Every structure is written in structure tokens, then in C-alpha cells.
Structure 1
Amino acid sequence: MNDSSFELPLPHPFDFRQCLDYMARSPLECLYTIEHAGVNRLMQVAGAKRLVRVTCPEAAVMKVQLLDGELLSSEVQVELSGFIKNWFDLDRDLEPFLQLSKGDPLLEPLAEAFAGLRVVGVPDLFEALCWAIAGQQVNLTFAYKLKQRLTEAYGDAAEREGVTYRVFPLPERFASVTVEELCSLQFTRNKARTILDVASLISSGELSRDRLLTLTDPDAVDKELTRIRGIGPWTAQYVRMRCLGDPTSLPVGDVGLQNAVKQLLGLNQKPTPLELQTLFEPWSGWESYITFYLWRTLY
């Protein structure tokens, strides 16, 4: 251990390999690179770009290292720690979820198959919203292509050992970007307008992750997000799950969730949103985790 790295204690259960397997589900991912049982990511930390590597050299320890060899300041370490805890949901006590799953015919096999998997988050609100907007009514492959184009067109980059790393663009970068420019990347006009609106709201401070986290009522969060043109219930629920760490978020309109439940229960057709709500009633408080694990069965 040197002054360019630090360690984070890991909760139990936590399986880094399970998380990496989820993160490696698409070769089109442009914001991090998985190699040698770790993940490298270019991040905007304490006002500067820093290339970070995350590994788990021991079962109960996560190692965070600055790959450029820069000495860690306390400010950088605090900001990185917060980001990574949110990224891998490290502050979550999964014991109640494991107790809930015991004996449950649907949950117990899921909890065993993906033991130690955490909801892998998208801690940056702008990135989370753009990713959700890109994914509206398109398949996952095309959503990844849209994110890749947006990142390459407007995000910063750094190179190390022949690999180019990119950081998701800051919302301020879009102050002078036009709808037509985003449409040239194959965003629809509606999605382009929504991204520019969200960028403006976050840049002005009117919308922020910290402020959304002060809203203790999930309905209030949904209301705050869906007042933005182009953001509907599915997008709001997705952001609550992946960015805000809300374990109760249940995106009943999600096609992937519907397909996973159809397959696991052997249904003739996809469940309706109302049927999903009824199915999830006994699992109140863990809807996000169960949804995430169900998504996992699709890959």
C-alpha cells in the first residue's frame, strides 16, 4: 500500500466478481474497462480527471488506487470513497433481504445464484438521467451506442498504456449544444430536448442528487423528476434505483423485468404492471434488489 491508494472495508455479503460480471454485460460500455479482476475508470474527482483502479485483493477489502501515481489528498479520498460506496452500494445491510428470501420459491434461488451481488449504481445524476433517457423504448445495445456517442462527442478523455478512457460529459458542456447536434448522434428530437433540459437544470443547481435525497417520500421524487418534459415514471423509478439508492423502486413498466418474471414463472404472456405490483407486495422494501436480480437472469 502506498500513498496513491487506500482501502475500503467491505460488507457481508459482497462478491466483487458478481458485480464485475454484471458490469461486463456489454462490450460497448465506454465509461470503464474491466481487466485482471478489477475495473479502471476515469473520474472527475475534486475538480480534476483522475484514472482510478478498483480491486478486491482480499475478501473483506476493496482497494482504490490512482493509476497516475498521484498522492492522495484527503479531499480526493473522501470524494472517491463516497462515489465508490454509492457505485457498489457498500453501505447497504443485505441481511434483511437474505432473511426475506429464505424459503421463498422465487427469491431464494435468485439470492443463491447472485449471492453477494449489489445493485451497481450510477452515482452521477446527470449520467444516470442521460442513460435512462437513452434507454427509453430502445434495446440495450442501441442505448449503449447512444451513450458511447454522447461520451465521445462531449466527454473528456485520457490515455494510458494504449487504452483511451473517457469520463461522462459534465452538464455544463451542453450549454451551447443544439437539438440538431444531438439528433446527429441518432437521439430522437424528444430525447435530445430532454437531455438539454436536464443539463440546464443541473447546471443551474435547480436539480441535484443531494436535493433529491432530501425528499424522503418516493412519490415526491417521482413528481420532481416527471415534471421535466420527456421523463416519465419508468425513467424516474430507474433513477431512484440506480442513482439515489432507493431500495423500494419498482419499475413496473420495464420490459426486461416483465420478461424475466414471465420466464421464471413460466407465464404465457408478460405480467401487467398491476400483476407485478401484486407479485412484489410480500417483498416490500426490497423491490430494487429483486428487480436487479431478475434483470440479471436475462444476461
Structure 2
Amino acid sequence: MNSPRWTDHPDGVTLTVPVEFSFQENLKYLARSTNECMLQIRNGKVYKAIPAGQDIVMVEVGPDESNQLHVRFLGKTESLDKPSRTEIAHHIHDWFDLGRDLAPFYEMAKSDALLSKAAESFYGLRIIGIPDLFEAVCWGIIGQQINLAFAYTLKRRFVEAYGSSVSCEGEPYWIFPAPHRIAALTVDELKALSFSAKKSEYLIEVARRIADDQLNKELLLETGDIKQAEQMLTSIRGIGPWTANYVLMRCLRFPSAFPIDDVGLHNAIKALLGSERKPTKRELQHLSAHWAPWEAYATFYLWRVLY
């Protein structure tokens, strides 16, 4: 992974992007749901609130004239110090996975029957990350065994009920709920938002562990091993292999994370093969045998075949 490189400007920062990066492909992914509550897209740019130090900073993200990634700070940013600007630059760098050299992935995908067309069609797409561990785990739990549209509805209810927001040009921009806020809730309070009793319990349990610092990104990354990190996650009630690998993929950035039981992945492969049935696990293991260590990117690109 390469470290972020950026230049400071009076109104923001400009991040250097890799050759294998297309802002437009990433924008299409971010725009896949009109019910996304954590950002807004207008005129080809992304608007989002990002915590930085003691501040919450509204940013506008889009390509500049040389196709680098310009992050413009909105609102009153006179007090935004160097550490906060650095934190925002690192957040955007992580969000778009800009430190990843994708040349080996594209080389592998060229000769793979399932991946070659997707890699060509979506060239420059990055795994859009979820840098905050609590948000990543919650989104994984929320999405369990329901369709994507309802998952977005539940997330919006959750965020608007218990998150915080800042206003910019009359529009609210939301920050994901803090773990300590969710840790103090009862199951009935979450059930009132249409969460199942089990999901409510899982969300509160994860919130308590993170609020008490029993679980954090550093602990997971310090394992240095994807299997150990997966086991640490799956030891928590409500986090199975699918949710664990989703978090390892989108938050911890393990390129070999592989949610092999994902229904969307199965449906994408079924569509690409023109099959009347989804692949069995054994068939999927055979089809993915040459993806290592790029299973996460292979999965992400195949998801894009569906939406």
C-alpha cells in the first residue's frame, strides 16, 4: 500500500491518484442508491461530512483539471489546522483505496473468463471503503438476509435517529452514530425502527465492544493475518463469515477477503455464465482458484455486474 500524497490549497487538498483510477466509475458506484444517507452527489461531485479532530468538515470531492482528486472544504474552515487537514486527506485516500496498485489485479483479470469483461467495463473502479469500523460492522449486520433497498432504508432510519448532522447550504449531512450512543439503547428502541430483535441485539453488542475498546481496527490489523482477524470478528455474536469478510474487505482492506457465500456474487456469476442456477460452493471455489490474492476486488467487480 502506498502512502497518500497530496498538496495543500487554501480551500482544501488535492490528492495524487494512481493511473488505474477513474473518478467517474467510482461516482457511478456511489450513486447506485438514491436512498444513501451518508453523502450526496450533485453535478458530478460528492458531498460528505467528515470528522476531523474536534471538527466535522463538509467536503466536496471531484476531479480537478488534471484528473487528480480535489477535496474542497466547505463552510468556515479558517480554524482547520494541519493535523485535521492531514486526517481528511488520509480519510479520502482510504475511502477510495488510492494506495492500492491494481495493475496485478487487472493482469490476472484479463485471462479470467468471469472477470475479464467486468474489469474492462469498470476499469478504474476501487473498492469504496468504510473507514470507520463501527459503521462497517453495522452496515454488514444491517444487510444480513435482506435486499439492498431495505438495507438502505434501515440504515437511513438508524442514522437519522441516532447520528449527528451538520447543515451546509440548507442541507443536512449525517455522521454515523457513535458506538457509545448505540451501546446505551434497548432492543425495543431499535425494533421501533423495524430492526429484528436479533439484529438489534447484535448492533448493541458490537457497539458496547467498540465503545469499551474491546474491538478496534488496530487490534484486527495487528493480527497481520486475515484468518486471525476473521476469527476475532466471528467470535462476536451476530458476525458470521459473510459479515466478517465484508468488514475485512471494506474497512480493514485485506485484498484476499472473500465473502464466498454472498448471494449477489452468486447471482452475478449465474448471469455471466448464462446458467439457470447459482453456482455451488465447490463450483465457486473452482472458478475463483486463480483470483488469489485479489478475491475482494474480484467480488467487488462482479457485484457491479448486477447494479
TM interval, shorter chain, is: over 0.9
Match of 1:144 in 2: 152
Unaligned runs of 5+ in 2: 1-7
Please give the alpha-carbon distance, in whole angstroms, between the structure 2 residues aligned to 1:158 and 1:208.
26
> Do the aligned partners of 1:9 and 1:61 also contact (CA within 8 Å) in 2?
yes
Please give the alpha-carbon distance, in whole angstroms, between the structure 2 residues aligned to 1:23 and 1:161.
21
Please give the root-mean-square deviation of Cα atoms over the aligned residues, in Å: 1.3
Match of 2:65 in 1: 58
Match of 1:297 in 2: 305
Letter in 1 for 2:28: D
Q: Percent identity, please.
A: 45
| Residue 113 of structure 2, aligned match among 105, 117, 127 | 105
Match of 2:207 in 1: 199
Letter in 2 for 1:98: Y
2:20 corresponds to 1:16: no
Query: TM-score under structure 2 normalisation?
Result: 0.94
When residues 59 and 296 of structure 1 are mapped into structure 2, their CA distance, relative to the original with a 3 A threshold, is farther
State the aligned residue count: 299
Please give the alpha-carbon distance, in whole angstroms, between the structure 1 residues aligned to 2:198 and 2:290.
37
- The offset of 1:122, in angstroms, is 0.7
Please give the alpha-carbon distance, in whole angstroms, between the structure 2 residues aligned to 1:267 and 1:174.
43
2:186 corresponds to 1:178: yes
Please give the alpha-carbon distance, in whole angstroms, between the structure 1 residues aligned to 2:244 and 2:264.
16
| Residue 221 of structure 1, aligned match among 229, 236, 242 | 229
> Do the aligned partners of 2:202 and 2:238 also contact (CA within 8 Å) in 1?
yes
Match runs of 1:1-299 below 5 Å: 2-71=9-78, 72-299=80-307
**SS in structure 2 of the partner of residue 54 of structure 1:** strand
**SS in structure 1 of the partner of residue 85 of structure 2:** helix
Superimposed CA distance per residue, residues 12-46 of structure 1 (whole angstroms, 9 cap, x where no aligned partner)? 11000100100100010000001121111112211
Please give the alpha-carbon distance, in whole angstroms, between the structure 1 residues aligned to 2:65 and 2:131.
25
Query: TM-score under structure 1 normalisation?
Result: 0.97
- The offset of 1:246, in angstroms, is 0.9
Superimposed CA distance per residue, residues 67-121 of structure 1 (whole angstroms, 9 cap, x where no aligned partner)? 1140341111221122111110000001111111223332221111001000111
Please give the alpha-carbon distance, in whole angstroms, between the structure 1 residues aligned to 2:254 and 2:282.
21
> Do the aligned partners of 2:13 and 2:89 also contact (CA within 8 Å) in 1?
no
Letter in 1 for 2:291: W
> Do the aligned partners of 2:183 and 2:208 also contact (CA within 8 Å) in 1?
yes
Please give the alpha-carbon distance, in whole angstroms, between the structure 2 residues aligned to 1:179 and 1:48.
31
Unaligned runs of 5+ in 1: none
